[in-house]
Chain A
Amino acid sequence: MGLRRGHRARPGEWIIEKLIQAVGLSTIGLMVLILVFVGREALPVLMGRINTALVQPILPSKEIDSIPRDALRSYLELSRSQFEGMDRETLMAMMEAREEGFRDIPESFRADPDATVNTADWRRLLLPRQWTGYSRPEFVWQPVGTIHKYNLVPLLVGSLKVTLMGLLFAVPLSLGAALYVSQLAPVRFREWIKPMIELLAGIPSVVLGVFCLLVLSGVLQSFFGYQFRLNALVAGIGLGLTAVPLIFTIAEDSFTSVPRGYVQASLSLGASPWQAAWQIVLPSAMPGVVAAMILGFGRCLGETMVVLMASGNASMLSWSLFDSTRSMTATIAAEMAEAVSGGGHYRMLFLLGTLLFAISFVTHLIGDQIVRRLRRRLGGMA
């Protein structure tokens, strides 16, 4: 090849390089597309363009001929082309369906002050309200029924509660295991214990969910004696189990990549292996440990099946670990099948999806900053 360099010299490699580049970029493109799709469905809620009040003005179908055509079109929420293509009979049928919907509202709800409230308003989503029948203002997520209540706070708290419980369980366990495997364990022991822990990642989360639902919940209940058999503690431990292999793998890698010289230097100065591991290796691997925890957080926040099965899914606002909990992911999974496509509930579920994305994006961003800062400090030390 001589001095000729670059793609001219090796057209085959050039093609491979471009192919890999295309694959990489298309992954990013795919992510953006998904976000656009999810965000687009949630957009009308964010823009405040959606009205989910129970009682809405009705145009009587008898007066179909005297209603201006534009008013009729916007009343039936039709696009111009849809409207043009419809005959009088179809329009009539749609207006009658509207009227039937109105007639189906139980008498007792028509005069209810809640009936004219737009439940998709941001204040209803985030602030408590004293709904009819409640003795004080409360955060209520009851999206199905006569009056749809979409307060997001119980779900946000629920998600964070089980996620933090999951981390509380998984982080000490997996960091301890990683430190032991990488620093203290005899080599032959390490060779089989590491794959064993990583094998945990191969257990489908639905299996862990069943385990929590049928076995763990009963054991913990008879031990602690609390009322709710399925609760944030059970779900958190299940989540922790899904996160252990992830946190373990990344932490173990970062412990192993601490230069051997550090350990050898401290050992030769008289430190015990434990002191070297705890005071030298752990602090030097801190960026990797933080990264592992951030990824573990994302894993716990996004995990669906375990929470769906083991948390009891009661949408109550409480920070107690022994209360049943409803997470955002479980809500989406459980309710999407029945949500009327394009309706208020459907858009709320997409809003939850967008929120989940936003939370994990911000966490990763903050985590990244922490990791950078730690690296810089460690670099200064060295």
Chain B
Amino acid sequence: MGLLGRLLAGEITVKGSDTLVVLAQRWAETYMAGHPGTRIQVTGGGTGTGFAALQNQTTDICTASRRMKARELETCIRTFRKRPAEHAVAMDGLSVYVNPSNPVRELSLEDLREVFTGRITNWRDLGGADAPITLYSRESSSGTYEFFKDRVLSGRDFAPTTQTLQGTAQVIQAVGQDRQGIGYGGAAYGSGTKTLGIARTRGGMAVEPNEKTVHSGEYPVSRYLYCYVNPSTDRPEITDFLGWIRGPEGQSLVRDVGYYPLPVRRD
């Protein structure tokens, strides 16, 4: 069914980030219940896949757990002749998990960097037991991986021994089974493991991720989640849906799924 068909049916397609797929489905269900004339289809596949679909005009809205890269922006401008519109839709505080039996309760950003780049390899150096550290990471295709690499590792490489797993649920499962394990992922999934407090500097105050600390910026590893729209195929129902997402009703669902709503002072 072409663009015209979708237009007539009042259908909106949403594609992109796997981080956002559950939330987007909730948004779609709730919105459709209140707006019987609109049909919304949500699929995941990854942020990059979503951007490619936006560029091929096979999706109306692209959800993204990272901002569009210059390279993707360029390809979009090449096809649309305009910049795609970017809307922040939620916030996420990245959590760092360890096994519940691990005595370590908090780490500084610097400790995390040393651990994940392979300079610190034993829990003894962090105040834990004398045991090697096993690193669990998300797959490099996830926006979460990239965000962690940029923000926590300052762009340096993960240690080659880092195991990459398919999705946050797998990271949690692995850390839950592995006494020496450490992993990271979205705040939405943190059960069965222990979430560490993170301090900006060594010896600084460690902060747990919650709505207050994420909004105030006290929690050092938080990010925005986005929706991108092609400006030349924008339609009233898409604008309305996005407005609804960013409004009180959409934002209250964000909390249910485990992410953080946008801070109120943003428009």
Contact = CB atoms under 8 A, between A and B. Distances in A.
Interface in B162-182: 162-166, 170, 174, 177-178, 180
A359 interface: no
A338 B180 contact: no
B160 A154 contact: yes
Contacts of A315: 160
Contact of A337 (B55, B117, B141): B141
Interface string A263-301: 000000000000000000000000000000000000000
B166 A309 contact: yes
B134 interface: yes
Contacts, number: 131
Contact of A316 (B47, B142, B155, B161): B161
Contact of B149 (A82, A133, A144, A340): A144
A342 B165 CA distance: 25
A47 interface: no
Contacts of A213: 170
B82 A334 contact: no
Contacts of A326: 164
A109 B154 CA distance: 10
Interface stretch (A122-130, A194-202, A223-231, A245-253): A223-231
Given A324-B163, A334-B140, A335-B140, A144 B145 contact: yes
A339 B146 CA distance: 12
Interface of B: 45-49, 51-52, 55, 69-75, 77-78, 81-83, 117, 132, 134, 139-142, 145-146, 149-150, 154-158, 160-166, 170, 174, 177-178, 180
A308 interface: yes
A28 B126 CA distance: 59
Interface centre among B78, B142, B150, B174 (most CB of A within 10 A): B78
Contact of A314 (B74, B77, B157, B163): B163
Contacts of B166: 308-309, 334
A334 B164 contact: yes
Interface in A144-197: 144-147, 149, 154
B140 A314 contact: no
Nearest to A54: B155
Contacts of A334: 139-141, 164, 166
Contacts of A82: 78
Main secondary structure of the interface of B (DSSP, over half): mixed
Given A131-B157, A142-B157, A338-B142, 6 more contacts: A87-B81, A146-B155, A218-B177, A314-B160, A338-B46, A338-B141
Main secondary structure of the interface of A (DSSP, over half): loop
Contacts of A104: 70
A93 interface: yes
A326 B157 CA distance: 16
A131 B83 CA distance: 35
10 contacts: A78-B78, A100-B73, A102-B70, A142-B140, A145-B146, A313-B165, A336-B141, A337-B141, A340-B48, A340-B51
Contacts of B174: 229-230
Contact of A338 (B47, B81, B134, B164): B47
Nearest to A334: B139
Contacts of A309: 166
Contact of A98 (B47, B74, B145): B74
